[in-house]
């Protein structure tokens, strides 16, 4: 488990082992969410990274023919 400290400017450094594990890049945007006293940093991914993630999905019977 890694720890970090909040700077006087309220900045947080993400530890190197976490950056490497999640393949984070400098300048990458993150969404910040708080829930139940916990802060979540969620890396935003470019839309292009989702290309092909449904490859091989069975598309039969998704909609009725009359709905097309």
How does pLDDT run across 18-61, given as a tens digit for each residue? 999 988 989 999 999 999 999 999 988 877 777 887 888 887 77
Distance separating alpha carbons of residues 29 and 65, to the nearest angstrom: 41
Here the tokens at position 34 are 């708080």
Determine the structural domain holding residue 40 and report its residue range: 27-51
The whole model's pTM is what? Answer: 0.59
**Number of domains observed in the structure of the chain:** 1
Answer for the pair 39, 32: CB distance below 8 angstroms, yes or no: yes
In a domain, 6, yes or no: no
Ranges of beta strands (E only) in the chain are: 30-35, 38-43
Q: Are 54 and 62 in contact (CB under 8 A)?
A: no
5 contact partners, CB below 8 Å, separation of at least 6: 12, 13
- Kindly state whether residue 67 falls inside one of the protein's structural domains: no
């Amino acid at each position: 488990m890694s720890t970090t400290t909040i700077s006087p400017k309220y900045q947080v450094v993400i530890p190197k082992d976490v950056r490497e594990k999640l393949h984070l890049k400098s300048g990458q945007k993150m969404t910040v969410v708080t829930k139940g006293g916990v802060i979540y940093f969620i890396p935003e991914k470019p839309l292009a990274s989702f290309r092909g993630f449904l490859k091989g999905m069975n598309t039969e019977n998704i909609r009725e023919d009359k709905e097309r």
